[in-house]
């Protein structure tokens, strides 16, 4: 009986170490095609929207600087700003339409995620959306600068 117990101890130790050294699963975004597609579109939409706002803020700041230096904005300045807005607006519209189509899928794949996967999904989503917050702070700072 003691010999059997002594044989089990090394096996238990090997089993415990084997369990602890398992490689973690791939990130959710790599394991789940639907999540990756959804987050790609969300990320692209956030990037394009933030890029649009950043371009407008940069151009507005440049125009404000011209005004402070006694210069006037030219027709080309306005045309440049309009071109930037129009290009980004078209991309945003396309991505918004694509996002709308994916919303039904989004609800479905969320139901299929485990609790850990859902937590990981929310973390990825939160990181992506955090860029909106950073952009909003920059926009607020630009507005405050113009008001003062």
d(CA 88, CA 100): 18
Written as six digits, the tokens of 67 are: 């005004």
The pLDDT profile of the chain, 148 residues, written as one tens digit per residue, is 444 444 555 544 555 555 544 555 788 778 888 888 888 888 888 888 888 888 888 888 888 888 888 888 788 888 888 888 888 889 989 988 888 888 777 777 777 788 888 888 888 888 877 887 787 787 777 777 766 6
Please report the pLDDT score of residue 4 as a whole number.
Answer: 47
d(CA 30, CA 26): 6
Please report the pLDDT score of residue 21 as a whole number.
Answer: 46
Contact of 56 with 87, CB cutoff 8 Å = no
Helix (H) or strand (E) holding 114: none
d(CA 84, CA 74): 16
> 3-state DSSP call for residue 32?
coil
Closest to 49 (Cα-Cα) out of 124, 145, 134, 147 = 134
User: Could you identify the residue written with the tokens 């084997």?
Assistant: 18
The arrangement of secondary structure in 32-147, i.e. its CATH architecture, is: Up-down Bundle (1.20)
Quick: pLDDT tens for 74-112.
888 888 888 888 888 899 899 888 888 887 777 777 777
């Amino acid at each position: 009986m003691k010999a059997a117990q002594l044989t089990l101890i090394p096996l238990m130790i090997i089993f415990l170490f084997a369990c602890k050294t398992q490689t973690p699963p791939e990130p959710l975004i790599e394991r789940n095609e639907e999540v990756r597609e959804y987050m790609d579109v969300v990320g692209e939409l956030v990037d394009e929207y933030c890029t649009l706002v950043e371009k407008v803020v940069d151009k507005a700041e440049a125009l404000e600087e011209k005004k402070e230096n006694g210069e006037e904005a030219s027709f080309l300045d306005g045309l440049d700003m309009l071109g930037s807005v129009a290009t980004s607006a078209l991309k945003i519209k396309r991505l918004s339409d694509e996002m709308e189509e994916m919303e039904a899928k989004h609800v479905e794949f969320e139901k299929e995620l485990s609790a850990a996967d859902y937590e990981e999904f929310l973390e990825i989503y939160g990181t992506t959306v955090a860029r909106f917050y950073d952009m909003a702070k920059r926009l607020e700072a630009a507005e405050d600068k113009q008001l003062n």
